[in-house]
Chain A
């Protein structure tokens, strides 16, 4: 079944994990598009590449435009300059033409001869920078040739320096600048271009230009400019014929275009960068080059054309400019675009990286979240597993323990018995451990529920102490408990858990303490009031404080005299508590009423020991599970170290907190607070009966003197005696007690005569005159008529020799072995005072069937069991003790019998029964009772007081004796359990809680 449970649980955990993953996974934009991220990056890069290309192109285009503009402006500038210079030269030639006409023709005789002309032209040559030279040719018709030749003394020659053949007319050069003197006497009309030019010039009357040709002499490309010179003034608008008629000669100049342009360009900036060509484009199909090389490399892609107007309408010229070199690569644009691209690329990559990182972080986050959920689930599963497994282990363990118990009942040899007992002890230890683990697991799994039932704190403390009394006595450690009177008798809470806490702490202390004491102290957790009235201290000797200081100077004022870790339990503070209590004892009821008004009471419990203490380094992990101070601890002392962690959990569950003070080699004091509910008056009487250990009331009013040098210990003793209703006084030593007794005995009479004197062993032994004074005490009493007080020795451990000595010294009556428990003290006192039957000293447990008989005699008991044989046996056993027994064979039958009102005093209930098991039956019975209570409460006030009677003690009968079953029993309202088959002792323990012992005198 366990396995199946595990599986189903695991399944549910898995489902839970899945659900959580589903709901918790929040998708962000980036997360949702994670697959697209590389594509986004690629797209981005492409877009950016496109953008940068575009930027480059744009910048490049801008550059080109600018270059073109520069080119055109440069070209235009050159063209304009050329044109300007040209026209200046032309104008000057024009002026020369007028000069010639004026001084050669209008004057007679001519004012100009070759010499004058040469002189003049040479001196004005700067005016015509573009002209290599000027010359004047006269128009000579053929008829005048001989005359002309004679007159000048030379014949007209052609361009080839041959005598000119006969023509209609001639144009021999008569005047020439010195630079071109070689053309004198040459007939200009003999050259094709010149002749054409001459004809055109005289027809138009304007300057005309030839097409470019190689000039004579220089072999440079050039053009010839020709101006007509008229011998008479022309009419305002002369016809062509009139012009020809009036023509006297021709003035010509050769433009050396090549050098001209060269000069011109040389003057301008940027000369090197551009390439200039000048063309004659009169014939549009065949451009004649005037300047520049026809086939020049250069930037053919970009050129600029500028029109040139040299003043000859017949001729058209143009200038073409282009860059020498191809457009240089635009580095700026390229760099800009590239940088832009790189930056964008980086930005894109950074974004991509960030996105990838985000995705990764989110993935990790989700993964972590998932792991966290799984870890938590695993933790819960672990606790569940532990709880389940420990539960499952307990069942077979039970079998083992049961079998061992059975085995021990059989006839075994001593070796076999030893083995079996060892096995049983081990098994019990294992069960304890498993229970602890289960507790811890339950607490962790949050499954531990505390119950709230009324219980008697003091009796629980007594029980716990008795549990450890054997061990502590063997070690010689003094074990004591003290509960402040202010702590209410009954509190509401979980007695089982409280017991567990105390057991844990005391068990630890016992384990680690080899000498000294272990002291459990319970008081209300409130601010300790300053001692209000020093007189409240009721020690027999008024100066006890000083005396204690003197006598205990070498000792600490703790319970046993050993130093304790926490000073709070020493007498100095303890006496305040006690004194306070004294005060309270006498105090008005008002305070009590005020106290009970509050709903809850906070208790401070401290467990002090004088053991080995906790090493300082281990102190902060004391409450961690499975952590002992160090590994050697578990070697030396055993244990798993789980106890304290459980204790801490329990204390916190009970609304308190735990802390400790520890000094290595001195001891530890664990203190915790816990909150209990206060019992209401009504329920108080109701619940007192089943839970409270019944203390005999026969000692009320008796007077006792406690002789103890240690005030704390004395207070503890007094606490126990007070619970029995006795009046207690202190004496610091035997001597003082004796003298006090004597004094009282003689003067004040029997009223103050103590009935009992309890002497602490230490006080008795330390006093040198102990024996003597004791005797004195005895004798004094014997001297009087009063009944002598009973002498009782209190001891933690005592050797036989000491015992003998004690007897000899006068402690004939008895010795009470510590730790003190009220019930045990009561038993001893009964024995001493002769009011009770004789019992073993130091043994509080009542036994014997007669006692049981006295308990059960006359009681009416219902036995519920489905098994006939069991029923019969149980009935027989109970009848044997004098009880009237009735039987029921099922839960239902029992319910019928227990309809209120009924006359049963108790009910023994089998747990495993068909149809309705013991738990269910009990639950129903309790329900019936509570219903009855409600009805009663609806009635009179008296009714509510009587309600206590409607609680029938139900005891489970089970063969199953483990813890869990017991818990289960208590949970469903049972009051206890007895193991089946009945064992007398067991039965007694279970029954004794509910029934008062019959008056002892009858036995």
Chain B
């Protein structure tokens, strides 16, 4: 039981550090609240959907921005909009903020700025992915150890 307790404490510390660092916000907490017996892996499910989506979109934007003969800013705008929507849905705050900055550059049709932002975005994305995956790993460990995931209040 000590092990489980330790894991649980670690889990709590970790998730609060995520909040503190601004990687996720209240929305993420809200999502966590939605998990129950019927859908125990709701957050993970949504997160993996998000990662998939995000990778695709970032890829698309990278390709669009590399086009030498005129960048299709409309397409980029659509991608950003989508990304912003999904990131705010899961509460990935830093990704969302990166999207907002990105959007202003794409509105201004500033290719350099967009490239910079894309870099920033993929950085934020991989950070989030790492952190969340760690979190999910912790979760699985707790479950494997027979404990319950601490509920947020």
Contact = CB atoms under 8 A, between A and B. Distances in A.
Interface of A: 403, 406, 409-411, 865-870, 872-874, 876-877, 879-880, 912, 914, 959, 980-982
B86 A870 contact: yes
Contact of B49 (A403, A409, A868, A914): A868
Given A411-B19, A876-B42, A869 B53 contact: yes
Given A876-B42, A981-B88, A869 B50 contact: yes
B36 interface: yes
Contact of A409 (B26, B78, B81, B100): B26
Closest 7 pairs (CB-CB, A-B): A869-B86, A873-B89, A870-B89, A867-B85, A880-B34, A876-B34, A869-B50
B34 A869 contact: no
B120 interface: no
Interface string B51-90: 0010000000000000000000000001001100111111
A914 B78 contact: yes
A398 to B, nearest CB: 12
A410 B25 contact: yes
B89 A869 contact: yes
Given A959-B88, A980-B88, A869 B49 contact: yes
A411 B23 CA distance: 12
Given A410-B25, A879-B39, A981-B27, A870 B34 contact: no
Nearest to B38: A879
Contacts of A867: 53, 82, 85-86, 89
B89 A981 contact: yes
28 contacts: A406-B25, A406-B93, A409-B25, A410-B22, A410-B93, A411-B19, A865-B85, A866-B82, A867-B85, A867-B86, A868-B53, A869-B53, A869-B90, A870-B86, A870-B89, A872-B46, A872-B89, A873-B31, A873-B89, A876-B31, A876-B34, A876-B46, A877-B34, A879-B39, A880-B34, A980-B85, A980-B89, A981-B88
B91 to A, nearest CB: 7
A867 B52 CA distance: 12
A410 B53 CA distance: 26
Interface residues of B, number: 31
A411 B34 CA distance: 23
B82 to A, nearest CB: 5
Given A865-B85, A874-B89, 19 more contacts: A406-B25, A409-B25, A411-B19, A867-B53, A867-B85, A868-B49, A868-B86, A869-B46, A869-B49, A869-B53, A869-B86, A870-B86, A873-B46, A876-B34, A876-B39, A879-B34, A879-B39, A880-B33, A980-B85
B89 A880 contact: no
B36 A880 contact: yes
A889 to B, nearest CB: 12
A592 to B, nearest CB: 50
B112 interface: no
A872 B49 contact: yes
Contacts of B20: 411
A876 B45 CA distance: 11
B45 A872 contact: yes
Nearest to A910: B85
B32 to A, nearest CB: 11
B30 interface: yes
Nearest to B51: A869
B85 A870 contact: yes
Nearest to A877: B34
A406 B91 CA distance: 11
Contact of A912 (B30, B39, B81, B93): B81
Contacts of B33: 880
Identify the interface centre among A410, A873, A874, A982: most chain B CB within 10 Å of its CB: A873
B153 to A, nearest CB: 13
